[in-house]
Amino acid sequence: MTPNASPSGPIWSARVVGAALSLVGLGLAVLSAHGVVDVAHARVARGVMTLVLVLAVRLLTAQLSEEWSWRAAGRVRDFYRARVVDFMRAPAAVAARARSDVSTAIEDIAALPELEVLSTSARVGILGLGVVLWSAGPLSATIVIALLGLSVPLYRRAGKRSAAIDVEYRARRATLESRQLELIGHAPDLRALGAVDFGASEIGAISDSEHAIVERAVRVSLGSSLITEFLGGVSIGLVAMVVGFSLLGGHLSLERGLIAVLVTAEVFTHVRRFGTAFHRRDNARQAREVLSTSAPTRSNPAALLRCEGLRTTPGGPAFSIDLHDGDRLVITGPSGAGKTTLLHTLVGWRAPAAGSLERRDVPLGFVSPESVVVSGSIWDNLTCAREADERDVRAMLERLGLSGARFADLRADLGADGRALSSGERVRVLLARALLARAEVLVLDDVAGVLDAHNRERLRRVLGELDTTILEATVDSPLLEPTQTVRM
């Protein structure tokens, strides 16, 4: 299957494989009964050969099924990995799950073919009830049906408990990861205050609570396994008891009695496998919901960007904006008014709470004091692995006032997240990166505030010479001469 092919193929194949495994299992159970009867009647050679054949076929089908599941999971995994870019491009709703969940979701949904095999084999395995009815009578069939019916609500209860624990675990895990990153970022400050133990204690407490959740999940899983083993054992034992009394009374042949017991065991084997995977099926369904998001369909309007009644938060102010090529939009307002949120919504990084938004899909350069500077050299950050003429790169740096000994060596390392740069140098390096990439839309999020007066005037001149569409958010002192202004 090609990376862009639909995963429905492996799902349909899984149903065929599951049905085949169940029917083969039932057939082998009957064949095993024949083999045991042959041994009991002194036809030892034929009986042993039959049992060896049954064992060989079971091993072969198990190996083939495992190999098929592995390949099918790989095809589904490749399909969704090919869509990761679309998923990441889609705007995130306010309460959307973290994008880091996508890797876990892909692994969960890759288990769908195997889970479909288990589901189908359990359903088809119910046909064994007819064999039990034929071989041992209605009482044995009723026992199996009753215990199967009893197992269903128990499976569902265990699955719901596991799902609730899984949600709690993922939330706690996300908290742990974000808190670790936050404390690592502030490690120098904490160390200077002599408060490193504070961070370590907090991480330890969150980690301990995470381990406690895992222990609860293990207990629920063990409880579910005990349920399945107990019900399966009770069912086989009761059917064997009924068969034993029938044999003693002369109402049943040994062969039909063995068929009833072995087929009952086979039916519960498939149901037990399906029951233990109940929670995994919930995970796979949730993963399908997470991965159902794709890049929004974009029209190609005459305007570069057009919105009508756009709200970034429920009950917030509505904005109507119409931007064309070369326009300058300035968004002003106090800190915390929602300028950055509006920018993120306009460029498609955040889903609007209400209203309509159309925009052309064009190369975009987003520059803010918090924008990412990758670990690496000046050259790496400016070119992003694209081919570039060094003279053009140096000319752009000179144009933005990035010269002198610090920028003489373009292969000089900037450190993690550009720690070697000042705030003003950082935004100018990011602006140079966007301009060298020939972004058709330039977005400036409060960059004027980190520049001194000299460099602010320099950027005003550079931006004034561009014919690029520019959006700027600022508290005051914009760098642009706006064609449109939005006040928050």
Kindly state whether residue 108 falls inside one of the protein's structural domains: yes
Instruction: Single out the residue in 269, 291, 313 at which a domain terminates.
Output: 291
Host H or E run for residue 319: strand 319-323
Kindly state whether residues 131 and 206 are assigned to the same domain: yes
Those residues with Cβ within 8 angstroms of residue 270's Cβ, 6 or more apart along the chain or in another chain: 21, 22, 25, 118, 121, 122, 124, 125
User: How confident is the model at residue 31, as a pLDDT?
Assistant: 94
Kindly state whether residue 2 falls inside one of the protein's structural domains: no
Split at pLDDT 50, 70, 90, the class of 64 is very high
Kindly state whether residues 325 and 284 are assigned to the same domain: no
User: How confident is the model at residue 150, as a pLDDT?
Assistant: 78
Kindly state whether residues 279 and 389 are assigned to the same domain: no
Q: In whole numbers, what is the pLDDT of the chain averaged over residues?
A: 81
| 360-369 confidence digits (pLDDT tens) | 888 888 888 8
- Tokens of residue 223, six digits: 């409880």
The whole domain housing 440 covers 305-487
pLDDT value at 94 more than 80: no
pLDDT value at 297 more than 60: no
Kindly state whether residues 416 and 333 are assigned to the same domain: yes
User: How confident is the model at residue 176, as a pLDDT?
Assistant: 66
Query: Between these two residues, 149 and 184, which has the higher pLDDT value?
Result: 149
Whole-prediction pTM: 0.59
Task: Give me the CATH number covering residue 268.
Answer: 1.20.1560.10
Count Cβ atoms within 10 A of the Cβ of residue 13 and give its class: 0-12 exposed, 13-18 middle, 19 or more buried: middle
Average pLDDT over residues 55-67: 93
Kindly state whether residue 223 falls inside one of the protein's structural domains: yes
User: How confident is the model at residue 482, as a pLDDT?
Assistant: 84
Residue 370 main-chain phi, psi, to 5 deg? -100, 0
User: How confident is the model at residue 95, as a pLDDT?
Assistant: 39
Count Cβ atoms within 10 A of the Cβ of residue 299 and give its class: 0-12 exposed, 13-18 middle, 19 or more buried: exposed
Kindly state whether residue 297 falls inside one of the protein's structural domains: no
Query: Between these two residues, 351 and 92, which has the higher pLDDT value?
Result: 351
Residue 393 contacts residue 386 (beta carbons within 8 Å): no
Buried b (16+ CB within 10 A) or exposed e, 48-87: eebbeebeeeeeebeeebeebbeebbebbbbbbeebeeeb
Kindly state whether residue 138 falls inside one of the protein's structural domains: yes
Split at pLDDT 50, 70, 90, the class of 189 is low
Kindly state whether residues 468 and 401 are assigned to the same domain: yes
Kindly state whether residue 341 falls inside one of the protein's structural domains: yes
Kindly state whether residue 266 falls inside one of the protein's structural domains: yes
The structural domain count of the chain equals: 2
Split at pLDDT 50, 70, 90, the class of 296 is very low
Kindly state whether residues 143 and 41 are assigned to the same domain: yes
Residue 107 contacts residue 29 (beta carbons within 8 Å): no
Question: Hunting for tokens 């070119």 — which residue is that?
Answer: 383
Average pLDDT over residues 428-456: 88
Kindly state whether residues 146 and 204 are assigned to the same domain: yes
| 307-350 confidence digits (pLDDT tens) | 899 988 888 889 999 888 889 999 998 888 888 889 988 888 88
Instruction: Single out the residue in 291, 313, 338 at which a domain terminates.
Output: 291
Helix 390-399, helix 423-436: angle, nearest 10: 130
Split at pLDDT 50, 70, 90, the class of 294 is very low
User: How confident is the model at residue 2, as a pLDDT?
Assistant: 41
Kindly state whether residues 202 and 324 are assigned to the same domain: no
pLDDT value at 27 more than 60: yes
Kindly state whether residue 356 falls inside one of the protein's structural domains: yes
Kindly state whether residues 279 and 309 are assigned to the same domain: no
Instruction: Single out the residue in 291, 314, 349 at which a domain terminates.
Output: 291
Long-range contacts of 401-408 (CB under 8 A, 24+ apart): 401/428, 401/454, 401/455, 401/458, 402/428, 402/429, 402/432, 407/378
Kindly state whether residues 319 and 359 are assigned to the same domain: yes
CB neighbours of residue 180 within 10 Å: 15
pLDDT value at 39 more than 80: yes
Task: Give me the CATH number covering residue 324.
Answer: 3.40.50.300
Kindly state whether residues 79 and 160 are assigned to the same domain: yes
Kindly state whether residues 376 and 428 are assigned to the same domain: yes
The percentage of the chain sitting over the pLDDT mark of 70, rounded to a whole number, equals 77
CA separation for the pair 310, 350 (Å, rounded): 12
